[in-house]
Amino acid sequence: MSVPYHRLPRVDARWRWWRPLVALAVLGGWYVLTQVLIVFGFIIPIGRTGGVDAVMDFQRKLQDAALDPTDPLVMSVSLVSLVVLLPGILLAVRIAGIGPANILSSTRFRVRWRWTAWCLIPTLVIAVIMFLTQTAGMFTFRGGFGWDHAAIGQSTVTQTTLVTTIVLVVVLVPFQGAAEEYVFRGFLMQTIGSWIPVRIVGTVVAVAVSTVVFALLHIPNGYNVWGILDVGSFGLIAAIIVLRTGGMEATVLQHAFNNIMIFVVQAPGWSHIDLSSQDANGSPGGWLITLGTSLLYWGMVEVLARWRRLDRRFAGHEAPRFRGTPPVWAGGRRWFRPGGVGWASAPARLDEVAADRQAGSGGPVESTVGVAGRP
């Protein structure tokens, strides 16, 4: 008996349907609070140095071009506002008491660092392909290899601004990508998967909902229909990869490198390239490139997982749900609680499973013979 990634909350006998709603409320409160702190953290220094006009200009830029890579200040606010979701979702899951610690990371209840290192291989392959496709037509061999300024124009930012942007992107984007993955492919899929008792139905609905929500929330970024299809295709295949690998490692790397590549290429702000154009916000060609590279990445990860004999599922069982009518002498609702008669065979937490397995009656993946050495 084993448990797939999207049903991991059900290995804990203390799981209840309302716990994800508590986590969602905590995350919502955390997000509102951090957004207020972030905005004031930027506005106060700007107001002191530039006055009211500088503050109004800053707010206008946030509304019009939140992810403009040619403006490090505005871009950093947008990235940080997403980065805070990562500690927020981890804190929310902990407060709501959803499963063992680090349940969102993988079926091992931790980040599988060796597997992460192996996933760098397909990630770098896709990064090279993405760079070549995104910079197609931007280079020339006339007079030596270099930028084709006749086609793309000149950079519109200073060297200091360019370096600052690249540093911010490299530092912040991995956490921004991880935050989105943990919220959409982690928390959302596990919530839906644990709510629906029929596994195949829960799997399909979890993937579909996480993909649609992920795509729709990108509409405010100015994407057109092709842009939304682009984001949706990326999210769909990422959700499948999470289920197939039993963890977030591969998709976090894919998401981070994909965004880093996009921002770095756009950072110089080439004068002949309009980032607000219709094609820049989505095109059939861009969608096909995203779909093709995502499928290729999934295929390489799948081959790598088979070769490394990756543990994709939790090597335990779900906590049984009580069936039957509680007798009067059972103490009412106490019958249903973990530790009650109806839950006698279900350990309350993973640490109790570990204690049982050490005693020879079963336990966590880490102590299972033949599994501990795998990534």
Q: What's the token pair of residue 72?
A: 């490090």
Q: What is the pLDDT of residue 136?
A: 81
**Amino acid 320: pLDDT:** 67
Report, as an integer, the average pLDDT of 29-40: 92
Please give the residue that has the higher pLDDT: either 248 or 137.
248
For 64, residues 6+ apart whose C-beta sits below 8 A from its C-beta are none
Residues 6+ apart with CB under 8 A from 238: 181, 185, 251, 254, 255, 294
Q: What is the pLDDT of residue 364?
A: 36
CA distance 81 to 1: 41
Least confident of 19-28, 43-52, 233-242, 268-277: 268-277
Q: What is the mean pLDDT of the chain?
A: 82
Share of the chain above pLDDT 90, in %: 48
The whole-number average pLDDT for the span 91-108 is 91
pLDDT at 350: 44
pLDDT digits (tens, 9 = 90+) for 309-356: 998 998 878 876 544 455 454 455 544 444 444 443 444 444 444 444
Which tens digit of pLDDT belongs to each residue from 189-242? 999 999 998 889 999 999 999 999 999 988 877 788 888 999 999 999 999 999
Mean pLDDT along residues 160-185: 94
- pLDDT per residue as tens digits for the range 106-160: 999 999 999 999 999 999 999 999 988 888 888 887 777 777 778 888 888 889 9
Q: In sequence order, which residues have a C-beta less than 8 Å from that of residue 167 and are 6 or more positions away?
A: none
Which of 181, 201, 198 shows the shortest CA–CA distance to 86?
Answer: 181
* Nearest C-alpha neighbor of 152 from the set 10, 298, 265, 39: 265
Q: According to the 3-state scheme, what is the secondary structure of the chain?
A: CCECHHHHHHHCCCCCCCHHHHHHHHHHHHHHHHHHHHHHHHHHHHHHHHHHHHHHHHHHHHHHCCCCCCCHHHHHHHHHHHHCHHHHHHHHHHHHCCCCCCCCCECCCCCCHHHHHHHHHHHHHHHHHHHHHHCCCCEECCCCCEECHHHHCCECCCHHHHHHHHHHHHHHHHHHHHHHHHHHHHHHHHHHHHHCCCHHHHHHHHHHHHHHHHHHCCHHHCCCHHHHHHHHHHHHHHHHHHHHHCECHHHHHHHHHHHHHHHHHHCCCECCCCCCCCCCCCCHHHHHHHHHHHHHHHHHHHHHHHHCCCCCCECCCCCCCCCCCCCHHHCHHHHCCCCCHHHCCCCCCHHHHHHHHHCCCCCCHHHCCCCCCCC
| Residue bearing the bigger pLDDT, 284 or 146 | 284
pLDDT score recorded for residue 220? 77
Look at residue 65 in the predicted model and tell me its pLDDT: 55
Evaluate if residue 372 carries a pLDDT over 50.
no
Distance, CA of 259 to CA of 69 (rounded, Å): 11
